[in-house]
Each structure stands twice: as C-alpha cells, then as structure tokens.
Structure 1
Amino acid sequence: MTKFDPDIHDDNPPMDAAFMAGMKPSRRGRPKSATPKVEIKIRLDAKTVEHLRGSGPGWQTRVNALLERMVAAGQI
C-alpha cells in the first residue's frame, strides 16, 4: 500500500477568488413556468370529483384543458 500524497490527490481545490468566480448558484426544483398556474379552492359535487378522479392520473390537467377550450370557444 502506498502512502497518500495530498500534492498528487487533491480532491479539494483551494476556494480562492478564482475558484469562487466560476461558481454559479444551484437551481433547485422545477424551472419557472412562462405561464404559471394559479392555485384556487373550488367546491364541487362529490359525484363530480369521484368521476374526475376515477378517470385516472392527470385528471386535473385534463379538466384545465377542457375549461381552456371552452373559454376559447366562448362557451363559458
């Protein structure tokens, strides 16, 4: 077994001004949307919610798309 030589195996570079100048802040989570959704509270009939949830994952997205089409068509 060889002795560890820190001059050869330097896993931690010095954190000097040059090193810090190349750093950029980390971005956590999802990127910001150009058209963010607005969270609201709405009260619906239990049967309606049961039916919508029963249609499977993505039901809220599908409801939003349907409402968007109805608004664009002038139906609501």
Structure 2
Amino acid sequence: MSKISKLPTVRMPSVQEDKAITAAARSDPDAQPLTPTQLNAMVPLKSLRGRPKSENKKQLVSVRYSPEVLAYFKSTGEGWQSRMDSVLRQYVASHSRP
C-alpha cells in the first residue's frame, strides 16, 4: 500500500500571481511570446514523426522465393527489396494484356 494517502493537489495561482508570472515572462528577452504567424506555422509533433506517407502505398505480403533469387538480390546490397519490386513491375508492364 502506498505511503502517500492522497494525490497532491494542484494550486492555481491567484490573479495577482498570474499577472506577476506573465510580466516576468514577458520581460525575459529569451522567452518572448510567439507571434500569430509562428503559432499558425506550428504542426503537431505526431505529424512529423516517421517516414513520409507515400502516394503509392505498398501491401505487406508473405512470399516464398527460391534461394537463388534471394541470394542474387541480396548480393546487390541495400535496397534489394526495392530492386526486386522494380523488376517485378517491369515484368507486369511488359506482360500486361492490351
């Protein structure tokens, strides 16, 4: 059982304390409020994380290839999956029905 009997309470500053805090913050040259232009330019951090969204989404599938095919593409170095995709796309383009 926890030794703390209650959760700590949050005490909001009075109007006078809030004005004093705001005045002190505004007097600091390194902590000036953001301009409306700066506020409008802000984007959520969540939207900046990860890889950029592709217009051409790929699907995740499980496929079995012969060891020779995998060995060849892996021997070409990093990006071998993309090269394999490119070869398959070329095949599809050249063998598509009219």
Residues of 1 paired with 2:32 and 2:64: CA distance? 56
Q: Number of aligned pairs? A: 67
- Kindly indicate whether structure 1 or structure 2 has the higher relative contact order, using CA contacts under 8 Å at least 6 residues apart: 1
Segments of 5+ residues of structure 1 without an aligned counterpart are none
Aligned match of 2:54: 33
TM-score scaled to structure 1, two decimals? 0.65
TM-score scaled to structure 2, two decimals? 0.53
Structure 1 pair 13–52 and aligned structure 2 pair: CA distance change class (3 A): same
Please tell me whether residue 49 in structure 1 is matched to residue 70 in structure 2: yes
Question: Which of the two has higher C-alpha Rg?
Answer: 2
Aligned match of 2:31: 11
Q: Deviations over 1:50-73 (max 9, x none)?
A: 222112111111111111111111
Deviation at 1:10, TM superposition (A): 4.6
Segments of 5+ residues of structure 2 without an aligned counterpart are 1-23
Higher helix share: 2
One-letter code aligned to 2:44: P
Superposed CA RMSD in Å reads 2.8
Residues of 1 paired with 2:30 and 2:78: CA distance? 49
Identity of aligned residues (%): 30
Deviation at 1:33, TM superposition (A): 0.7
